[in-house]
Amino acid sequence: MSTTNSIEIDIQKAATSKISQIDFENLAFGNIFTDHMLLCDFADGAWQKPVIKPYEPFLMDPSSRVFHYGQAIFEGMKAYKDEQDSVWLFRPEENFIRFNKSANRLAMPSVPEPVFMDGLKELLKIEQEWVKKGKGNSLYIRPFMIATGTGVIAAPSSQYRFMIILSPAKSYYSGEVKVIIAEHYSRAANGGIGAAKAAGNYSGQFYPTKLANEKGFQQIIWTDDATHTKLEEAGTMNVFFRIGDTLYTAPTSERILDGVTRKSLIELAEREGLKVEVRSVLVSELVEAVQNGTLKEIFGAGTAAVVNPIIGFSYQDVYYELPPTENSYALQLKEKLNNIQYKLAEDTFGWTVKV
Amino acid sequence: MSTTNSIEIDIQKAATSKISQIDFENLAFGNIFTDHMLLCDFADGAWQKPVIKPYEPFLMDPSSRVFHYGQAIFEGMKAYKDEQDSVWLFRPEENFIRFNKSANRLAMPSVPEPVFMDGLKELLKIEQEWVKKGKGNSLYIRPFMIATGTGVIAAPSSQYRFMIILSPAKSYYSGEVKVIIAEHYSRAANGGIGAAKAAGNYSGQFYPTKLANEKGFQQIIWTDDATHTKLEEAGTMNVFFRIGDTLYTAPTSERILDGVTRKSLIELAEREGLKVEVRSVLVSELVEAVQNGTLKEIFGAGTAAVVNPIIGFSYQDVYYELPPTENSYALQLKEKLNNIQYKLAEDTFGWTVKV
């Protein structure tokens, strides 16, 4: 991938940086943003010239389509700094491709690769001081697109805004995670938008998650909406189950996000000689496995945390706790993936891209 | 219902009105807005003082939750002017109640009744010149709420903005509507947010509707996502089928919006002595009915158009056209409902509320 700036970008630098005010040792996830943002508008059937400018609020009309009809998609990525102060991206092409798949599913225009990729790299060059060295440190990248056309008519917008904002992040530790297996609520329909990284998929999860929180559980493992018998995602992450010495994860589908961390963990596990089966896991199998002692691990997989180990689950009001993990596949895979991301191990897959 | 202004509203009047520039005879739906809007912010766990101010864009942070996680809900209502220049609402309590049901399902705070109802009435008093007399003319009302809290973390926002904007409307005629019955795509999941008037429900409909448009069809009749055998909604409206002399419409559910027009038409039809059955109608029944000549009418029901007659449907690539309607139930019911809304007939139901 070329790092040549093949598009013209209008760059307006911030007069001062706020970086000296940031406590990089104590960062809450996703709350602090860097000095600049990238912005590119779609109007009159074409993408306009991208702009990098100081991070700041912008004006929106009250009738903007995104407020009424939810055309909004995003991606989650990270930039890492190696010991030689170079900044690296992890499989950015995957995020770019998925972003435009989401755009298509929501009847939004595709973002050209130079706008997304060269725009991102240019922004990262300007903000490279915000990417801190050391394992666990990263710069979270949030590309997103919203419908900015006006008018309260339920039809696709003719105007859009693509943006990239950046937020410094520490290694993500969510504490001990207990989950409820969904028996009533669902995150996605057959023939719906569950495979898209669409804003609308998240808004429906908050209420059931709040109900789970009130019962002392941190997340929900989503099941298929028709039968609630197949295990699909954990919270906003893909989910893996280790039964015996085999790792299982559901195949991607219209209901399940094609996660970059998910697919990377599968490839990595296979390279490590671990047995991986990509197939639907039934709730009944999980209960049977925890009862007969073969269920060793459950973990979510996603960009923010890489893996998120789950220590127990509730199903039909019975709580099942997993035995203490020895020789955790989750932690081994996380370590190996992080080593590739931070350039501490050889990237035999060709996943890392220098900015 | 009291029209007393029981809450304090900060009213900032526009210096001039743009009403003289509006061609009220040629209005596209939902594109023109009146001089003022209502705005009320939720912050620090409480609703702040509502403000009525000139209609104008407002500032949003790039990390506003609505852009990333889709917490956004709305309502659609209309105000009508009678021959004595009084302005009337139609069953506003229903919209208010449904708005807060939607809010609850999306983990958003309830809007207090005085903010919604007294705020709306105060706004309508200021904008009463925008409600034009004469059947077909109305002022479309769009209450909505968006998550304005910042931060790209997938959790409910702690800040929200409730707004009401108003758009003058002419009687809605959509031309001859042909529909495709959904065999693959869906608008809602079991245990999802289909019953909420949530922005996220609409964004997923645009792409399948675009595909239908490309085949020469204006809308889609949505079916249940698990089996695609039950007829559920038409486009963004509820749907009725007249087979023989009976009107059928699906029961409301988690997947189907509890439409105010839908429930009003049911009550009105029953008062008129028409037979109404609220039950799921199967695609197979519809095909059988059109083949044996008992399918007389299909129509969508919603606030914008009241009824939207459908002249034919495609299923499994076969197009079925309905015979010309004699004695249309749809048009009779629309006439009777409009007469109540415009105060041309006695409102024996107590549906109309004077502003």
Please report whether residue A5 resides in a domain: no
pLDDT above 90 as % of chain B: 94
For B68, which residue in chain A has the nearest alpha carbon? A199
pLDDT at A57 over 90: yes
* Per-state percent for chain A, helix, strand, coil, to nearest 5: 25, 30, 45
Q: How far apart are CA B241 and CA B330, in angstroms?
A: 10
pLDDT at A2: 39
A325: confidence class by pLDDT, cuts 50, 70, 90: confident
Q: For helices B260-271 and B92-105, give the axis angle rounded to 10 degrees.
A: 140
Across B163-177, average pLDDT: 89
Which of A129, A156, A171 lies at the terminal end of a domain, its last residue? A171
Higher pLDDT, A150 or B5: A150
pLDDT at A305: 86
- What number of H helices and E strands is found in chain B? 9, 21
DSSP string, A16-29: S--GGG--TTS--T
Helix runs in chain B, H state only: 65-69, 92-105, 113, 119-126, 199-203, 206-214, 260-271, 283-291, 329-341
- Report CB contact under 8 Å: B58, A59: yes
Do A162 and A274 reside in the same domain of the chain? no
Which of A171, A198, A222 lies at the terminal end of a domain, its last residue? A171
Which range has highest mean pLDDT (A37-51, A169-183, B2-16)?
Answer: A37-51
B133: confidence class by pLDDT, cuts 50, 70, 90: very high
Of A35, A34, A33, A37, residue with least CA distance to A15: A35
Q: Report DSSP state, residue B126.
A: H
Residues linked to residue B164 through DSSP beta bridges, in sequence order: B38, B143
pLDDT at B245 over 90: yes
What's the pLDDT tens digit per position in B301-346? 999 889 999 999 999 999 999 999 889 999 999 999 999 999 999 9
How close does chain B come to A316, measured CA to CA in Å? 16
Phi, psi of B57 (to 5 degrees): -65, 160
Range in A105-109, A321-325, B112-116 the model is least confident about: A321-325
pLDDT at A304: 87
Of B144, B152, B235, the CB nearest to A167: B152
Structural domain harbouring B296: 177-341
How close does chain B come to A229, measured CA to CA in Å? 13
B211's CB contacts (< 8 A; 6+ apart) are none
Q: How far apart are CA B225 and CA B221, in angstroms?
A: 12
Please report whether residue B348 resides in a domain: no
Across B275-294, average pLDDT: 98
Do B87 and B221 reside in the same domain of the chain? no
Across A171-193, average pLDDT: 91
pLDDT above 70 as % of chain A: 98
pLDDT at B4: 46
CATH of the domain at A131: 3.30.470.10
Helix runs in A61-138, H state only: 65-69, 92-105, 113, 119-126
Do B190 and B148 reside in the same domain of the chain? no
Distance between terminal CA atoms of chain A?
A: 10
Q: Across all residues in chain A, what is the average pLDDT?
A: 95
Please report whether residue B349 resides in a domain: no
Do A106 and A231 reside in the same domain of the chain? no
Range in A36-50, B165-179, B274-288 the model is least confident about: B165-179
pLDDT at B62: 98
Do B51 and B96 reside in the same domain of the chain? yes
Of B318, B330, B322, residue with least CA distance to B180: B318
Do B133 and B163 reside in the same domain of the chain? yes
Do A149 and A20 reside in the same domain of the chain? yes
Please report whether residue B215 resides in a domain: yes
Please report whether residue A160 resides in a domain: yes
pLDDT at A3 over 70: no
Test mutation, A59, A67, A99, chain B, max B CBs within 10 A: A67
Q: How many domains does chain B have?
A: 2
Do B142 and B202 reside in the same domain of the chain? no
Across B258-280, average pLDDT: 97
Q: How far apart are CA A302 and CA A194, in angstroms?
A: 16
pLDDT at B49 over 80: yes
A181's CB contacts (< 8 A; 6+ apart) are A220, A221, A223, A231, A283, A286, A313, A314, A315
B289: confidence class by pLDDT, cuts 50, 70, 90: very high
Please report whether residue B88 resides in a domain: yes
What's the pLDDT tens digit per position in A205-226? 999 999 999 999 999 999 999 9
- Report CB contact under 8 Å: B200, A201: yes
- Report CB contact under 8 Å: A70, B165: no
| Residue position matching structure tokens 């998650």 | A209
B196's CB contacts (< 8 A; 6+ apart) are B73, B101, B102, B105, B106
B175: confidence class by pLDDT, cuts 50, 70, 90: confident
Please report whether residue B284 resides in a domain: yes
Do B276 and B306 reside in the same domain of the chain? yes
- Report CB contact under 8 Å: B199, A200: yes
Q: How far apart are CA B196 and CA B70, in angstroms?
A: 13
pLDDT at A5: 47
pLDDT at B5: 47
pLDDT at B1: 39
Which of A151, A171, A191 lies at the terminal end of a domain, its last residue? A171
For B76, which residue in chain A has the nearest alpha carbon? A152
For B102, which residue in chain A has the nearest alpha carbon? A204
Of A282, A232, A271, A262, residue with least CA distance to A349: A271
CATH of the domain at B299: 3.20.10.10
A317's CB contacts (< 8 A; 6+ apart) are none
Do B270 and B313 reside in the same domain of the chain? yes
Do A68 and A159 reside in the same domain of the chain? yes
Do B216 and B137 reside in the same domain of the chain? no
- Dihedral angle computed from the Cα positions of residues B284, B285, B286 and B290, in that order, rounded to the nearest 10 degrees: 110
Across B120-135, average pLDDT: 97
Please report whether residue A36 resides in a domain: yes
Residue A352 near residue A89 (C-beta atoms within 8 A): yes
For A76, which residue in chain B has the nearest alpha carbon? B152
Of B303, B313, B304, residue with least CA distance to B174: B304
